[in-house]
Structure formats: C-alpha cells, structure tokens
Structure 1
Amino acid sequence: MSEAIGARLQAKITLRLIVPIAIITFVNSIDRVNISYAGSAMSADLGLSPDQFGWGVSMFFLAYLLFQYVHVRLLRAWGIKRWIFVSMMLWGVSGFWMAHITSAAEFYAARFLLGMAEAGFAPGMTWLISQWAPPAMRARMLGGALVAVPLSMVLGGPLCGWLLEVSNPLGWPAWRYMFLLLTVPNVLLAVLAAFYLVDRPDKAHWLDGEERAWLAAEFARQEGTNDAPPRTVREIASDPWLWRCSLTWLLVMTGSYALVFWLPQLVRALDLGDSEFLIGSLSALPLLALAIGLVVNGRRSDRKGERLLHTGLPAAAAGVAMMIAALLPPGLPVLLLLCVAGLGIGAAQGVFWAIPGFVKLGGDKVPVGVIALISMFGTAGGIIGPWLTGVLVASEGNFSLAIALLASLLVLALPVIAWRGRANAGPSQA
C-alpha cells in the first residue's frame, strides 16, 4: 500500500509541480540567451561596439551575483506566491524595456534589471523542490526540472529565429519585436504561478489527506523529526561541506563552459556543407546528451541512495572526454566525445543539488540561504569561464589549451566532492 501511494505521489508531484517549474525554467533560460540572437542587428541599430555589447551581457551576471541574498530574504518574508510574481513580472519589465532601448546605457540597465530579477530563481526553485520531494526521490525531481535548461539551448535558437521572422504589425525592427513578444509568457506565467505554486505539501489542494500524511512520514523517516534548533551562520560557515559543495559547483559550472564555447566552432569545422539546419542539428546532440544525463543519473542516484560519486565520476568522465577531444583534429570522433562530455556534465548537474540535503548541510532542512551561496559560486563560473577562454584563445590562437584547462576543472570536481565521501556522508563527520 505504501509503495502504491509513493508511486502515485511521485507521478502527481512530477505532473503538478516539476512540469510547471520546468516550463518556467525554460522561459527563464530563453530570457538569458535571446540576446545572442538579437545581438548583431541590435548592435548595428544602436551603434554598439563589441566591447559595449560584452559589457551589457556582463551586467546580467553582475546583478545575478549581487542580488541572490536579497531574493533569499524576500522569499522568506513573502513566501513563494508573492516572490515568484514580483520576480517574473520584473523579467517581463526587462524584456519590455529591451524592446525600447535607444542607447548603451539603457542596454546595460535593462540587462542589470534582468539579472536582478532572475538572481533568486534557481536557488528558489531548488529550495521549493526540496520542500516537496523527500531525499530518496529528490535527485530525479531536480533533474526533471533542470532538463528544461539544455532543452532551451536546443530549441532556443529555432524559437528566437522564428520570432525574428514573424509578421511584425508594429513595423519595428525584428529584434525589438522579438523582445516584446517574449514578455508575454513572462507576464502570463507570473500570474499563473502566483495563484498555483505553494510552499509546502500541506497547502496543496491537489493532495488528499492520505498523500499528505505519507509525505510527512517520509520526510520524518528520511530527514529526522527536525526537533533540533537551526544551525547558526557561524556553524554552517565552519562546516567543510559548505565549501566542498561550493567549490564543486564552481568547478562543474566553469568547466562546462568548455562545451558551450567549443561546440559551435567544432561543428562548423566538420565541413559538412553550409546547411544551417544540419549544423544546428549536430550542435544539439551534446545538449541532448546533457538532458539525458540529467534524467537518467538522477533516477540511478535515487535508486542507489548515493550522491557524491554520482556527481564526481560523471564530471570527471566529461572532463577526460573533452581533454582527449582537444588533442584530436576536428571530426566526428570529436563530436562523439563531446556527446560523452555532455552526458557526464548533465549527470553531474542533475545529482549535485541533492548533496546538500544528503550531507545535512545546515541541518535536517537545508536553508535557502545555503543554496543561494552555493549557486553564487556557479554564477562566478559564468564569469570566469568566458574570461579565461578569451584570454587563452587570444594568446594561443586556438581553443585547444582553453578547452583542456577548463575540462581539467571537471576532473578536479571528483576528489573535491567524493574524497573519503563514503566515510564522511554528513557534516558531523566531514
């Protein structure tokens, strides 16, 4: 009977919570990448230099770093409904502003606003899922939500390309009309999410009493009764697991940029013709592998009840695959190795966010502030990876050294997160 309730609940939570979060995550990811498709025409219309365009892109990451803890405080004070509504409406305001910018200064400000608005989304959704998914099913739930990110990379190009070509009744430049249209799902989803999402299972109208009781019992069995007082900031800061998790996420996210930067260069170097459709399809293969890794490894990790090696080993395998690929001339073997790398990166990312709860970082319930701090290290990787790649490519004239160095960071993630991990799967023993 208990297994039947658990299976029914897993399906319900996936459909009623994970799928809506994945849809919002997809829109969130499109908001980040649409600038790359509008960039050329926008820069020409506004007279932006490459340096100014780069600064505008960087403004997003700067705001993202600065405002993560602001979002933590707002989420605690407001609850999920008001917080997600305000955050997503600001995404829409940023897109509306982008459709009307007339100068570099406005471009910087609009991108800064987007980073400010989106800064808390990833840690907020990670925290929300942890309130619903007991530890034994958490990795697959997190992976199910995160799969929207690589899918947005696969589908984002065709979607933005289509939006740049749709009938434009306003007579605007296509890039302005694209930004305007992309504000519509933000506004609609902001309203729907504010009405629909709830902080905890005991507030959900779509769960019956038996299902709520089963979830409460599973949380108590797997996490304890949570009677202990919450750990202080000083206690959490002195826990080695906080810094091991933060460093691991920095290594994984920085290293993954090797795949992001090299992939388009490689596919064009295969000399398979000028078909943009073929180039786009081949470029999507490693990202599709990444999505598969997210889902499959999350399920395996939940089934085995192990988190550390399920994060470290795939990350290291991805790094090794890319380092080998960096030594080979462009060709299909390199593309296959990048598919292996994508699979490993997705597998590592899909399980990673189950580690803080697994090692009881911050206590039986991981505070959202801890999630935000770890996430900030990954955001820093979004700054370090592109910068380091640019420096090395400028000095060497090719991508090989940059790819090899960034890939080595993925290999380092294994000893950082899994060294003596099986013997120390908790903060008191770390």
Structure 2
Amino acid sequence: MTTTPTNAALAAFDALQELSSAEKRATIRKVTLRLVPILAIAYFFNSLEKTNIGLAALQMNESLGLTTAAFGLASGLLFVGYAVFEVPSNLIQYKVGARKWLARIMITWGACAAATGFVNSEASLYVLRILLGIAEAGFYPGVILYFTLWVPKQYRGTMLSLFVLGGTLSSVLGSPLTGLLLTPDHYFGIESWRAMFVIEGIPAMLVGVACLFKLVDRPADAKWLTDRERNWLEGSIAAEHALVESSHSGKGVFRALGDIRVLMLSFIYFCLKCGQYALAFFLPLMIVAFQTQAGTKMSTLQVSLMVAIPALVAIAPAILWARHSDKTGERFWHATIPAIVGAIGICVSAVLHEPVLIMVAICVAMIGLSSQSAPFYQIPGFFLTGAAAATAFGLINSLGNLGGFVAPTVFGALKDATGNYVAPSLLMGGFLIVAAVLTALLPKMFKSLDPRQHAAAPESRPVVASK
C-alpha cells in the first residue's frame, strides 16, 4: 500500500502552521480557562453526590436499618443504571452536542441526588441509586469526548487532569462540607443526612443550567477565539482524526463495540475502578474503625476532615504526572505505574495496625489512583475517532465502572464475613495489580498500540495510507 497525504490531512496540516508555539500555548490557556472551570465544578458535585453516601452511612445505616453488605449494595447499584445507559448517552452527545447534553445530565443528576433525602426504606434507596446512575450516565466519558473535539492530543492529558481535579476537590472540600451538614442530628425535625442530600443536590442542577450558557460545542462556534485560533484548533484536530482514520480504516460504532482493544481497556478500567471505589465508599467507615484501635471518639466532621487528607495529598502529583505524560507523549507506563502505586498503598494499609501508618498507606494509594486516569484515557485516541471514539469512551467507562458496583458490594460482604478490612483490601489491591500488568502489556498484545507507530512529531507533515 502506498502512502500519500489525504486532502483532509493536508488541509488540516496547513492550518497547523498558522500559529507560533507561543500563540498555540496561549490558545490552549484560553480554552482551558473558558471550559475547564465549569466542567471541574460540575465534576465536583458529580463526585460529591456519588460518594457522599459514605459519610451519610454514619447516620443513614442506623436510620434505615442497613447492614454493611446492604450499604455496599446500595452504593454499587448506581453503576448498574450507569453501565446500561453509558454508550447511548455518549452517542446522543455526539449527535446533539456537549452543551445541551452535559447540561441535561447535571440537571437530572442533581434532582435524583436531592431525591435521595426522601428515601424511607432499603428498597427505595436501591431504586434511587439506580436512577442516579441512569441520570449520570455519559458525564465523564462525555467530557473526555468533548476534549477530543477541542484540543490536540498533546494537551489533553493535562486538561483532563485539571478537570479531574474537580472530583479530587470533592473529597478535599466536599467531604468536610458534608461532615459539617451532618453535624447536627436534625434540621427542623428532619434528619441531617436527609437534609444533606437535598442541600448538595440543588447546586448540581444550577451548574447544569450554567453549562447551557458557558459551554460551546466546538472551536468553530467559539466567538471568544480569533479566526486564526479557531482554524488552528479545528485544523490540528482534523489532522489527527485523518491520520487515525487512514491508519485504522475508520472503524464504525458497531465495530468499536466489538473491538478487542476496547474490551481489553474496559476490563483494565474495571480493575482500576474496583480499587478506587472501594476507598471512595468505605474510607469513612474505615476511619471510624480506627477509633477502637486508637481509643478515641471522632465526630462526623472530624471523620470528614480525615477523608479529605488522602485526596489533598494526591492533587499535585496527579497534575504533574499528567503534564509529564503530555510532555513525553508516553501513555502506557504513565498509566501502569500509578496502578502499581495504588495497589501497594491499599495492600500495605491492609496489614498495618497503627492508624497513622494506615492513613499514610491510603495517601500513597490515592496518589496512584488519582494519577492514572489522565494518561489512560489518551490510549483509545490512538485508534478511534468520531462516533467510534464516543462509543469506545462510553463502553470503557460503563463496563469499567461496573467495578463501582462489584467493589463496594464485595468489600462490604467480606467485611461482614471477616469482621475487618484486611481481606477486602488485599482483594482490591490484587485487581489493581492485574490492571497494571495488562496496561504494560497492551503495546505487545496489539501492534496498533505500539507507541513507535504514533511517535511522529506533532508539527511534521502528515503522511497517511491511501485507500
């Protein structure tokens, strides 16, 4: 097969030359400052209302008569509805645009989160958690897809890490906020855990409304960019898409669903999420367990402040790691090493007995888990674009986030069976080791993912396979 430039790739390459390096960096800063803050705020409330059930459990479990296993099941059921509707949600966003669809997600998500304050039984809690997952389906992969339409790939890791910072801050700032709201036993006769769900659900709906006014679907529609900036962004992204489509035959939606590489990435993400959500949902209960060992009694607010520590420690390493991945262009080891770090932290925390040392190990685990996502989600872009990429992002996130169902359910059941967190923690660490090994082996398993095939300098003229 001969290799000649396609018209689309050549036209896109010409647009790349219109800006100097300094102008390109300035353009990316402008896009980042315009889009990332609102999306990070949305992710703040998205993450907060996904995991605030962990702190609510300190009061809610007794109020509703939940066992640890029942609480774990309720936590995980969110991901059932999430998994079923993730791919359709991403495809709808690809058709109607991110502005309307991400706004819809946040508005319905906030409404379902607030409605959790009205549950009156174990069954009604289960139903609300499933509806919450359906409402949220498509948010995280939708933002990833949105970034592929806005910035060249060499900037996406850093931008994604800044977006994910919103989720991290939900633990740093949101957990103490939740703890503060849970400090009184009642608000005007209403149990505080119920009031907390309502109070934290309303801002998510307001952020959804703000998305309608703040977001723009793609650079060509952004009036706050100059013509040269719009042309460069649209041209560079078109060039990347042309290269991928020429090299990988423009895989369609249904072929992406059955692509073994997508399925492998989904399984890897499942293993990663097992470790992440085990900590997210059970860390407050694990900290409460420290009380017996330390001979102290902590309030809900004190527990929430303890929950914030690992997330706070992980912020800087995650951003620096994503920037290093962007600078070097390497993705596989940048996704593998954090998974190993996360596994070490979780497993070490399981065998320690001193509360302070356990918290140090959990901080190490959180650094790994927070640093992994940005480089990992750049891998599908090596071989998919357009609707196929939307499908892949949705499938990876939906199947992967089933780990959010399995992890708390199994974690809670093992805790009830063994009376401690040792066995479930070691099991979750094992999932992370599997994820690390498979990520490292991806370039060897699939030649199309060999980094040497994607090592061309961004500014070099694109040469693609002719059809």
Q: TM-score, normalised by structure 2?
A: 0.80
Which residue is equivalent to 2:334? 310
Match of 2:425 among 403, 418, 423: 403
1:349 correspondence with 2:373: yes
Which residue is equivalent to 1:271? 294
Higher relative contact order (CA 8 A, sep 6+): 2
Structure 1 residue 205 displacement after superposition: 1.7
1:368–1:39 distance in 2 versus 1, CA, 3 Å: same
Structure 1 residue 186 displacement after superposition: 2.4
1:31–1:282 distance in 2 versus 1, CA, 3 Å: closer
Which residue is equivalent to 2:176? 158
Structure 1 residue 300 displacement after superposition: 0.5
Asked whether the equivalents of residues 250 and 378 of structure 1 are also in contact (C-alpha less than 8 Å), the reply is yes
Asked whether the equivalents of residues 73 and 405 of structure 2 are also in contact (C-alpha less than 8 Å), the reply is no
How many residue pairs align between the two structures? 427
Equivalent-residue separation in structure 2 for 1:272 and 1:133 (angstroms): 52
Equivalent-residue separation in structure 2 for 1:350 and 1:412 (angstroms): 19
Task: For residues 373-396 of structure 1, give each alpha carbon's deviation from its aligned partner in whole angstroms, at most 9, with x where no partner exists.
Answer: 000122111112122323433444
Q: How does 1:18-417 map to 2 (within 5 A)?
A: 18-39=36-57, 41-42=59-60, 47-50=64-67, 56-164=74-182, 172-224=190-242, 228=246, 230-233=250-253, 235-237=255-257, 239-260=259-280, 261=282, 264=287, 268=291, 271=294, 273-274=296-297, 276=299, 280-357=304-381, 359-360=382-383, 362-363=384-385, 367-417=389-439
Which 5+ residue runs of structure 2 have no aligned equivalent?
Answer: 1-18, 455-467
Equivalent-residue separation in structure 2 for 1:224 and 1:380 (angstroms): 33
Asked whether the equivalents of residues 21 and 145 of structure 1 are also in contact (C-alpha less than 8 Å), the reply is yes
Which residue is equivalent to 2:11? none
Equivalent-residue separation in structure 2 for 1:257 and 1:92 (angstroms): 20
Equivalent-residue separation in structure 1 for 2:443 and 2:73 (angstroms): 41
Structure 1 residue 407 displacement after superposition: 0.9
Equivalent-residue separation in structure 2 for 1:89 and 1:318 (angstroms): 33
Task: For residues 73-131 of structure 1, give each alpha carbon's deviation from its aligned partner in whole angstroms, at most 9, with x where no partner exists.
Answer: 43234322332233222123324433444555544433332221111111111111221
Asked whether the equivalents of residues 270 and 332 of structure 1 are also in contact (C-alpha less than 8 Å), the reply is no
1:390–1:67 distance in 2 versus 1, CA, 3 Å: same
Structure 1 residue 209 displacement after superposition: 0.8
Asked whether the equivalents of residues 289 and 346 of structure 1 are also in contact (C-alpha less than 8 Å), the reply is no
Asked whether the equivalents of residues 33 and 156 of structure 1 are also in contact (C-alpha less than 8 Å), the reply is no
Task: For residues 279-299 of structure 1, give each alpha carbon's deviation from its aligned partner in whole angstroms, at most 9, with x where no partner exists.
Answer: 554443322233333211110
Equivalent-residue separation in structure 1 for 2:77 and 2:349 (angstroms): 33
Question: How many percent identity over aligned positions?
Answer: 29
Equivalent-residue separation in structure 1 for 2:78 and 2:110 (angstroms): 15
Asked whether the equivalents of residues 274 and 404 of structure 2 are also in contact (C-alpha less than 8 Å), the reply is yes
Structure 1 residue 134 displacement after superposition: 1.0
Query: For 2:89, what is the secondary structure of its paired residue?
Result: helix
Equivalent-residue separation in structure 2 for 1:377 and 1:197 (angstroms): 28
Query: For 2:180, what is the secondary structure of its paired residue?
Result: helix
Q: TM-score, normalised by structure 1?
A: 0.87
What letter is aligned with 2:432?
L
Which 5+ residue runs of structure 1 have no aligned equivalent?
Answer: none
Task: For residues 349-403 of structure 1, give each alpha carbon's deviation from its aligned partner in whole angstroms, at most 9, with x where no partner exists.
Answer: 232111111x22x347752111010001221111121223234334443322322
1:425–1:340 distance in 2 versus 1, CA, 3 Å: farther
Structure 1 residue 198 displacement after superposition: 1.9
Asked whether the equivalents of residues 317 and 411 of structure 1 are also in contact (C-alpha less than 8 Å), the reply is no
Equivalent-residue separation in structure 1 for 2:322 and 2:40 (angstroms): 15
What letter is aligned with 1:346?
S
Which residue is equivalent to 2:24? 6
